[in-house]
Structure formats: C-alpha cells, structure tokens
Amino acid sequence: MTIRSVVFFILLTHFSAMWGYAQSITAPVSTNFYMETYNIRGKPFINPEATNVEGSPLLNTEWGTGTVYFKDGAIAKGVELKFNLEKNELYFNRDGSLFLFNDPITSFRMNFSNVGKQFDVLFRSGYPTTGKLGPSTFFQVLEDGAKFQLLDYRFSYLADSYRYGGTAKKAFIEGEELYIYDVAFSRLIKIKRGEQGVVESMPAELSSRILSIAKSQRSKLKSNQDLMMMVEELNK
C-alpha cells in the first residue's frame, strides 16, 4: 500500500466516524465531510449539581428528536435534543451528555414525549429586541404566518418552595409571555389572554376585526387554540 493510500484510508476512517456522529447534516453549498460535520460540533454544558431543588429547567427531561436550522443555511436532521427554559439554550446528545452547539441557530423543530403525551414544537429566533429579549432569544411559534405570528416566550426560574414541617427548598417554576409578531412593521406586541387584553394590546386599526373574529368563532381569546385561530384569520 502506497503512502498516499494509507493517508487516504486514515482520513476516510476519521471522517466516517464523524459522519456517523453527525447523523444527517445538509449544507447550502457543499456536501463534503468538512461542511457536513462542522455544524454538529459543540461544547459540553456544565451545570453545577443543585441540592434541595425540585423540578427541572428543561422543557423535555427525556431526549426529543428534531431538526436544527443554522444561520449559515445548514440543516441537521434526526438530532437528539433538549431545551433549557431557564437559560433559553438548545442542547444535543453526545454519549448521553448535554452539549451546546457552536454555531448560531435560527430555528429548530422537536418532537418529544412528556407524561405519555407527544408534543411537536417549533422554536425560532431572530426577532427584534424587546426588553430583556433579543434576536438570539428563542420563541415557540404557536401560529406562523406571512403577516402575523403568535409567539410564546417560555421560561423557567428558581423560586422558594416551602412545605409545612419540612425544610426550605427551591423549585423551578415555568412561566410564559405571549407576543404577536407584526411582520410588516417588524415589531413584537406583548398581549394578554382574553378579548379585552388582546384588543388593548393590538393596534387600534385591528380592533374591530379582532372583535368580529372573536364573535364569529364564539371565542373569548383565552386559550392557545383561540389565539391561534385569531392569528390564522388575521393572516387571510
């Protein structure tokens, strides 16, 4: 075997191993091994083990399976994922450990199971800054659209948890903030559940239309389904 053959064999073996780990990666221009494996690289997530803490900051404590879309146009499919609501971070599975992606992510879709139910969620970043939330913040997209999008900023935080006769503990509490993204004006509008809250939050020129939609659907605009229906109608 020539020296060139030996070198080629070593490189092929190395990249084949990386390819198996990277699962399914597609790049916008090239499909060579360098491009295919680049976007699945990551760094380990280090989380000091907390004591006397109840619950979890993770959206899904068991690994979900999903597709990750990167800012450079590359796509990773069939990746095992977990999403941290406290840190607003996405992790992938490497030998059972949490790893952070090196490359900027624009969106990801994930299917996971929780308490016997299946969930299919889409998260997206790149929205304008509002308060403490910036372009890198991931929002769950409840209803997509060319004119308006219904977004849910889901978060988790540690709070004191007391039980009578027991020791003081802390527990992760989950919260949310609902937004309508106005595509034409590139603005995020924070809304409250309920017909009055939505009407007061949205631009005045949309008030009559929103009230008409709520009336025709006999909706109080409180549930996610009601709000998703409203946004779907506004996009027509």
pLDDT tens, per residue, the chain with 236 residues: 544 443 333 333 443 333 333 344 443 332 222 223 334 455 555 554 455 678 889 999 999 999 999 999 999 999 999 999 999 999 999 888 888 998 999 999 999 998 889 999 999 999 999 999 999 999 999 999 999 999 999 999 988 876 666 677 788 899 999 999 999 999 999 999 999 999 999 999 999 999 999 999 999 999 999 999 999 999 99
Q: Determine the Cα–Cα distance for residues 154 and 119; give it in Å rounded to an integer.
A: 15
- pTM of the entire predicted model: 0.80
Find all residues with CB under 8 Å of 202, minimum gap 6, and list them: 180, 189, 191, 210
CA 72 to chain centre: 18
- Scan for tokens 């790049």, then name that residue: 27
Choose among 121, 117, 58: nearest CA to 91: 58
Instruction: List own/partner pairs for 215-218 with CB under 8 A and 24 or more apart.
Output: none
